[in-house]
Amino acid sequence: MDAAGSEEPQGSAGNVAFMDLHCHTSASFDCLSDPVKVGRAAQRRGITHLAITDHDRIDGALRARDAAPDGLTVIVGEEVKTAAGDLICLFLDTAVPPGLPPAETIALVREQGGLVGIPHPFDRHRNSMANAMAELDALAGLVDWVEVYNARVVFREGNERAQAFAQRTGLPGAAVSDAHSLLEVGVASTRVIGDPSTPSGLLQALATAEVQPGRATYFVRGVTPFAKLVQRARGNGRVRPVPSGGRR
């Protein structure tokens, strides 16, 4: 699949860019995709800006960034498991520890000059913010975007509710692959005008966001349980949350 599908120039300010702001590598406990190969797959499929957002760590993102092919900007990110649900945190220099309250997590990201989005907010089968609805509403004024289309959301209702939430709160919406395999990278993306290579550039570009939906087959997504078993055997489990009363 070519996410671009356009002859318009890409990458610089005023031009078209195609972003996938939620993607995993083998640094995650539930994925086996080599970070370098993830970047290559994204570039082949027309993605110009790829956020690597492994669970509670950034080492895979750093590897992908350092080996990014020509035409691809890799944004160092992290999918952080907060005390109330997951957050996508981008433009990081250091990993944000899991287990903290969402507001504290966001504050740590802001200290690094980063941005924050809400992933799969209404997916009942994952660590989503909608499981604590009061928390989700409170976060609307603290974050920068919400995933209105996540290619791994099983039931369409989850993405529809996310879109309604974005419209109600005025948050920009993004489409993401949430890839946990090479075949999923870039299967969904967000088309924007501008250069989302920096926090300020991404914020400006999100105002022009157009959802590019798509999804992998259930067979492809079925690889995830196998990946978890392999990673567990390798000793690569989830990062432990911060103990109550302090950061790690």
pLDDT digits (tens, 9 = 90+) for 199-208: 999 999 999 9
Q: Is 185 helix (H, G, I), strand (E, B) or coil?
A: coil
Q: Does residue 108 carry a pLDDT above 60?
A: yes
- The encoded tokens of residue 149 equal 């289309």
pLDDT in tens, 165-212: 999 999 999 999 999 999 999 999 999 999 999 999 999 999 999 999
CATH of the domain at 133: 3.20.20.140
The Cα 46–Cα 201 span in angstroms is 19
Angstrom distance (rounded) from CA 111 to CA 113:
5
Residue 130 in domain: yes
Does any domain span residue 100? yes
The answer as to whether 182 is a domain residue is yes
* Mean pLDDT in residue range 64-82: 97
Contact 153, 146 (CB under 8 A): no
Average pLDDT over the chain, rounded to an integer: 89
- Residue 10 in this model has a pLDDT that exceeds 60: no
Q: Which residues contact 52 (CB under 8 A, 6 or more apart)?
A: 23, 24, 25, 35, 38, 58, 60, 61, 64, 65, 74, 75, 76, 77
In a domain, 211, yes or no: yes
Strands lying side by side in the sheet with 115-118: 173-176, 145-150, 115-118, 86-90, 73-81, 49-55, 16-23, 189-193, 210-212
Residue 241 lies in a domain: no
* Alpha helices (H) along 150-189: 156-169
Instruction: State the total domains in the chain.
Output: 1
Q: Is the pLDDT of residue 126 over 90?
A: no
Domain that holds residue 62: 16-222
Q: Is residue 145 part of a domain?
A: yes
> Do 29 and 21 form a contact (C-beta atoms < 8 A)?
no
pLDDT average, residue stretch 144-161: 94
Domain annotation covers residue 1: no
Which residue has tokens 């567990």? 232
Q: For the chain, give the percent of residues with pLDDT over 90.
A: 70
- Read off the pLDDT of residues 47-71 as tens digits, 9 standing for 90 and up: 999 999 999 999 999 999 999 999 9
Give domain status of residue 218, yes or no. Answer: yes
What is the predicted pLDDT for the residue at 87? Answer: 96
